[in-house]
Amino acid sequence: MPEPLRSLLRPLVLALALVLGLAIGLGFAAPGPAQAAGDDVQLALCKQVLSRMLCKKQNDFGYVGKAGDGIYILTVFYASKNSEYLCAVMPDGQLIVQDRTWHAMRRVIPFTMDSEGKCFKSSYSSSECPVKAAFTVCPPKTAQDAKEQVKETFWVRPIPKILEEEYKAMTAQPNATAPASTEP
C-alpha cells in the first residue's frame, strides 16, 4: 500500500476504533439478551418478582408506564394506599426493584436466561410469602411454536405407537375402491 494512502487511512481507522470503544463503554452497542427478550417478558418477570416480594397475586399489579429501556413502573394497593414500584431489568442478569412511594425498599434479584434467550429463570422468595419454588417466565407461544412442538413430539413417540395410530386412521375411513352398498 502506498505511504500517502496509508497515512490517510490511519486517522480514519483510529477514529472509528475510538467511536466503537466509546459506544461499547457507554452501553450503546447491541442490546444484551435481557433487552432482546421483549417488553412483555420483562414486565412479566417484574410482576412475578413483585408478587413474591409482597405476597400478592400477579393480577393485582397494574402497569403504569415505562421509564426507560427495561425500566417499568408498576402500581399495587399495599399498606393502605396505592404504591408505585420501579422495576429495572438489567442486561447483566439483575432485576432491581425500588418502591417509589416509601423509598425505603430496594432489592436486587438475580435472574438467568435460558439457552435460547427467550425465558427468564429466578428463584426469589420472601419470608412473608409461602410460595418458595423457582419460577420461569417465557413469552406466550405463537401458532408457529405450537406447530414446531407438534412436529417434535410426533417423532419422539415409539414407532409401534405411530404405526398403530396410522392403522386406526386407515381402517376408520371407508374404502374408496370397494363397491358401494346398494341396499336400501
The domains of the chain are located at 33-137, 143-169
| Residue 173 scores a pLDDT above 60 | yes
> What single DSSP character describes residue 128?
S
Candidate ranges 10-24, 25-39, 61-75, 167-181; pick with highest mean pLDDT? 61-75
| Model confidence pLDDT, tens digit, residues 101-137 | 767 788 999 999 887 777 899 988 888 788 888 888 8
List the one residue out of 155, 113, 119 whose CA is nearest residue 138. Answer: 119
Q: What one-letter code names the amino acid at 119?
A: C
95 three-class SS: strand
Q: Considering the entire predicted model, what is its pTM?
A: 0.58
Residue 34: predicted pLDDT: 47
Per-chain mean pLDDT for the chain: 75
Spatial separation of the C-alpha atoms in residues 178 and 156, rounded to whole Å: 35
Spatial separation of the C-alpha atoms in residues 175 and 31, rounded to whole Å: 59
| Residue 178 scores a pLDDT above 60 | no
- 24 — pLDDT class (breaks 50, 70, 90): very low
Q: Are 41 and 139 in contact (CB under 8 A)?
A: yes
Residue 14: predicted pLDDT: 35
